[in-house]
Structure 1
Amino acid sequence: MTTQKIFFSLIIILFTIATGFNITGCQSIPQTNEAIFDFFEYQGEDVIFETPIDSIYEYRNPIVCGFYPDPSICRKGEDYYMIHSSFSYYPGIPILHSRDLVHWEQIGHVLDRPSQLKLDNIRLSGGIYAPAISYNPANDTFYVVTTCVDGIGNFVVKTKDPQQGWSDPILLPEVGGIDPSLFFDEDGKAYLVHNDAPIGIPEYDGHRAIWIHNYDPGTDQTFGKKQVIVDGGVDKSKHPIWIEGPHLYKIKGKYYLMAAEGGTSVNHSEVIFTSDHVKGPYRPVSDNPILTQRDLPEDRANPITCTGHADLIETPDGQWFAIFLACRPYEGDLYHTGRETFLLPVTWKKGTPVIMEKGKAIPTVVRPENWKADVAGITPQTFTGNFRWRDDFNTDEKLALEWLFIRTPRENWWSIHEGKLHLTPAASDIYTVGAPAFIGHRQQHTNFTVTTEMSFTPLNEQTFAGLVCYQNEKFNLIFGKTIREGKQVITVVRTDNGKQTTEGTFTLEDKRTDLPLYLRITGRGGKYSFTLSFDKKKWQEVVNDLDATILSTHKAGGFTGTIIGMYTGK
């Protein structure tokens, strides 16, 4: 190539960059995949929450709706702190604060820094299992001990003030299995209990054991000889399965070991053992299980199932309550809301704490004796009832605490400025085990409506932006904007066990391709409908009553609930 030709080519390149025109004289389309969201609004619409209650003396169950499983609780003075499993969502372990056990304020996450929580390449239902929170009055310190499954294993973090952040993980190399929990005795000694394999070869599928270790708060390590304190469960001759989620308590001079049994599905239950000594022997009480719904008719109205994984808490005036997980199926064993958090007063019978009498259904409205709402010292958020939650993205460079990422984000693909959320595609998409450009909110109701306003110009058929209903990489629904056969379209794609099917498409007129548009998803049990609008008044149906049961835990598997949020991919 001659010098003259090289010079001419450079002039063309510089002219194209400077003017946005190509050599044919046509204006170039800006090469950006950025999607801009003006707001996100979530509205719950469940029938069970339509019954009025006395908000001073009554409360609703669940106290925390949606995917807030495996609750654990502690108290310092009049302040309660509650945490939940987060699996491979980031930030990890939401932490809530209350003064009355019913009205809660989320004050942050225990694991809110990448140095604390490395979820790279971990399956969605791996990650953080069953965290347990404890307060040690001897050194005025809060502890959270948990397991990062498929990751670093068991570890502890601690703080003097739960609202001011937590330490980096301190590994517990001598602790195997899952579900660790710390207990601080009156004499200053500390112990750790957890689920692990039994001694020797398991005798049957689901045969597990509860182990106990000595724990040193000075070094934050276990020491000495560990031992089994429960082998199998309440009655080993009946082959009980999955004894797990243990907690130790000392009440009126007696030790209580409480644990879940029966697996986390419809046979879930809570059982309890007692001993005169912290290391046993532990004997099951005669009233076990102290909580279950497995003995109730399957065809009952508005069933609550899978009850278990409980924790006990004493109020300053000596009353006892239990928090526990349960599910609200809309049909059979189908639910999208995951495992939710419930609260019941505890009844003591001959030294045994009973959470719910056998044969009785969990109430959705509760009026405990001598209980009264108290919101002093907190800014309560609405976690139950048919609430509306809206984010207008008015806080620059800071996301609301309700938002979740899929795994630990390693790229700067989101930003907030001028009241809008900006997303650009990440290296991963929602169909791979990675960290996609997705920001999601829990589905907290069986019936709901989600609405957002989006501006987005797709570059090609591979670029997409919109809303996603996400259960995992293989089971999800997407609703948004892309290109098909050279035209901009709004489409709904259903992914069922990895197989993608286009369920509906709406082709945009040329004059509307650059306009902001509204996207709306309406859920009614296992049916979801998808509509769009340009003025939020007239709505155009894209897909009506789509079978969304693939989002249920029963079909998709795993331990999480459905997360609905904003996404862009390439």
Structure 2
Amino acid sequence: MNKKTALSVFHVLYLLAFLSISGSSCQTQSKDGVPKFATDSLVAHFDYFTYKGDDDFYKDNPLPGDDYYYNPILPGWYSDPSICTNGNDYFLVTSNFSYYPGVPIFHSTDMLNWKQIGSILDTPSKLPLDGQRVSEGIFAPAISYNPNNKTYYMITTNIRRGNFFVKTKDPFGEWSEPVWLPDIHGIDPSFFFDDNGKAYIVNNDEPDGGSTYSGHRAIRIRQFDVATDKTFGPSIMLVNGGVNLAEKPIWIEGPHMYKINGKYYLMCAEGGTSVNHSEVIFNGNSPMGKFIPWPENPILTQRDLDPRRPLPITCAGHADLVQKDNGQWWSVFLACRPINDKFENLGRETFMMPVRWSIDGFPYITKGDEVIPRIIRMDGVKRDSTTTFGNFEKNDDFNSEKLGQEWMTLRGPAEDLYSLTANPGFLTLKCADVTSSELKTPAFVTRRLQHHQFESTTSVYFKPYSKSESAGLLLFKDEGHQYFLALGRLKDNSETISLRKIKRGGEVEILASHPLKLGEGATKLKVVSDGTHFNFYYAPAGSSWKLLASNIDAYYLSTANAHGFTGTTIGLYATNKFD
């Protein structure tokens, strides 16, 4: 029995198991060869989803050996990376903002081959995001390992709720419920566990006496009691403004503290997260200060390079350091790969580079006008077959009972809006009474864009019965910047395939449309990107691909245009609230 034939067999099960999601009576009549559920009102059934990266850089620049890797090591908007080790295993986390689940965690035993092992904030109680915009939510998670109690800690900011941490003995398993930190204000907290058993939290906050100019911030420290999970003692300012207060530096943030060869190092981001982003370093003789900046700061930036250079990497900063088991120090940090200094659709990605040491004992990543390399060798390590970088293809036939780890929803688990078991082999989405422009949880299951040039396809059974019902592929930057390749009805009630440009406030512009009889079979949908423009295709049941709209500007979804902290995602979407 093939997949399509089996669907009719499972129709009764679907009625029982998914009636609460469909919210309507199902249509049981259908034409030969069409699954009976294909005409269910208010429900869309997606057969598969494919994503294929096709960037020219990777095709034109093959890796010279199996001990080389491409930067970024985690492409797509895996921003604000943080890393730790227990001596044998390495764990890396990144921001998720208002996507669910929160804080993806990756594992490696060699730092070249990474695999996502889950998401740390994987229940609504750990991730309250109601009413938060896409670029709000979870900022800058920092992961640390405390060898004194063999416990892993992840500390972060929920921008509407405050600072908190979770912990575990087993990072492959469950993490604790949040422990909120009412005495830690500002953003970007990070733990430091000293080898004498003492613990501290460093964070971005207001300077003593308050800010005196826009972007004037400080780095503060407070002691932490591991036994009670509480802070104690005064909040002490370690850095006022940045490296040189006289120059009015802005947005000192993302602090991490290290003890190396008996010396304490404080590393921070400075200059904001755009093209002036940088990383700076200080050292001192005690965690409580005084910290002296390195005279050769910054230790990482690309801000002084010609923006017209080929294949630019920009916005580099927000770094973390880790020492490998061979003694070598490495860094992870965020950066962008814009096209023509404007197409930043991939957002801020995770890069990795070796660390060098100055004669006077400071670590640095780049120096002067050095360019961040796109290809790097890691001696003594071999690349395996499941790399996270370069061109790759991901296909999901929805045969699992659980979404893969690359998939996300907005602001909550959305488990009442989708099902993988109502019709096995299909992702079934309810046409929810929520749109992707609202600060709620829509019926939207999505993944990151990880390449400028890509192709993505799906196949969907969908029969709209009113002008408000739509389903299809959604390219999503934020609440007010989206492209929706939609099956639905126009205002004259005619069935159609259309490309809709979604603007601020939920305003919709129809960029292209074509009459299309729906409900008589699966309709295929496809988006192809060349990095600066999108082409949108469809294929009616039993037909070949047809072009609906070409040369649609990708800049509309770029951070350079829409702003915000995330990149673009692409996914499957259904709504019953479309004008």
Query: Is TM (by shorter chain) over 0.5?
Result: yes
Output the TM-score relative to the length of structure 2.
0.90
Q: How do 1:48-59 residues align onto structure 2 when only pairs under 5 Å count? A: 48-50=57-59, 51-59=61-69
2:336 to 315, 327, 331: 327
* Matched residue, 1:218: 227
Q: 2:270 aligns with which of 236, 261, 265?
A: 261
The structure whose Rg is larger is 1
Q: Offset of 1:307 from its aligned partner?
A: 0.1
State the Cα distance separating 1:123 from its structure 2 match: 1.5
CA distance in 2, matches of 1:94, 1:197: 29
- Find 1:165's aligned residue among 174, 187, 197: 174
Counting only pairs closer than 5 Å after superposition, residues 134-213 of structure 1 correspond to structure 2 as: 134-150=144-160, 152-213=161-222
2:202–2:256 contact (8 Å) kept in structure 1? yes
How many Å apart are 1:411 and its aligned residue? 5.4
Deviation at 1:174, TM superposition (A): 0.2
Cα-to-partner distance string for 1:175-215 (whole Å, 9 max, x where unaligned): 00000000000100000000011111311110000000001
Q: Return the alpha-carbon distance in structure 2 between the equivalents of residues 259 and 529 of structure 1.
A: 41
| Moved >4 Å (runs of 4+) | 17-21
Query: In structure 2, what is the Cα distance between the partners aligned to 1:36 and 1:87?
Result: 28
Residue 326 of structure 1: how far off its partner (Å): 0.2
Structure 2 match to 1:38: 47
Aligned to 1:395: 400
> How many Å apart are 1:437 and its aligned residue?
0.2
Map of 1:491 onto structure 2: 498
Q: Does the 8 Å contact 1:426/1:435 carry over to 2?
A: no
Counterparts of 1:157-556 in structure 2 under 5 Å? 157-350=166-359, 351-368=361-378, 370-373=379-382, 381-396=386-401, 398-409=402-413, 412-417=416-421, 418-484=424-490, 485-498=492-505, 499-508=507-516, 510=517, 513-534=519-540, 538-556=544-562
The 3-state SS of whatever aligns with 1:242 is coil
Q: Which deviates the most, 270-279 or 536-545?
A: 536-545
For 1:441-472, what per-residue CA distance to the aligned partner results, in whole angstroms no more than 9, with x for missing partners? 10011111110011100111110000000011
Distance 1:442 1:214 in 2: 38
How far did 1:248 drift?
Answer: 0.1
> Paired residue for 1:106, among 104, 116, 128?
116
Distance between the aligned counterparts of 2:493 and 2:139, measured in 1?
Answer: 46
Task: Check whether the contact 2:523–2:538 (CA below 8 A) recurs between aligned residues.
Answer: yes
Q: 1:486 offset after TM fit, Å?
A: 2.8
Matching residue's letter, 1:500: V
- What's the CA shift for 1:220? 1.1
* Bigger Cα displacement from structure 2, 98-107 vs 183-192: 98-107
Taking structure 1 as reference, are residues 187 and 502 closer, same or farther at Cα in structure 2, changes over 3 Å only? Answer: same
Q: Classify 1:297/1:444 alpha carbon distance in 2 versus 1 (closer, same or farther; 3 Å).
A: same
* Counterpart Cα distance in 2 of 1:440 and 1:410: 12
After superposing the two structures, state which structure 1 stretch, 312-321 or 535-544, moved more.
Answer: 535-544
Return the letter of the residue paired with 1:144. M
Distance 1:86 1:283 in 2: 33
Deviation at 1:30, TM superposition (A): 6.3
Q: Structure 1 vs Structure 2: percent identity of aligned residues?
A: 45
Q: What root-mean-square deviation, in Å, do the aligned CA atoms of Structure 1 and Structure 2 show?
A: 1.8
Structure 2: state its 5+ residue gaps.
1-24, 30-37
1:561 maps to which residue? Answer: 567
After TM superposition, give the deviation of residue 438 of structure 1 in Å: 0.2
Task: Provide the secondary structure at the position in 2 that maps to 1:219.
Answer: coil
1:48–1:364 contact (8 Å) kept in structure 2: no
CA distance in 2, matches of 1:546, 1:186: 56
Q: In the alignment, is the contact (CA less than 8 A) between 1:411 and 1:426 conserved in 2?
A: no
Q: TM-score, normalised by structure 1?
A: 0.92
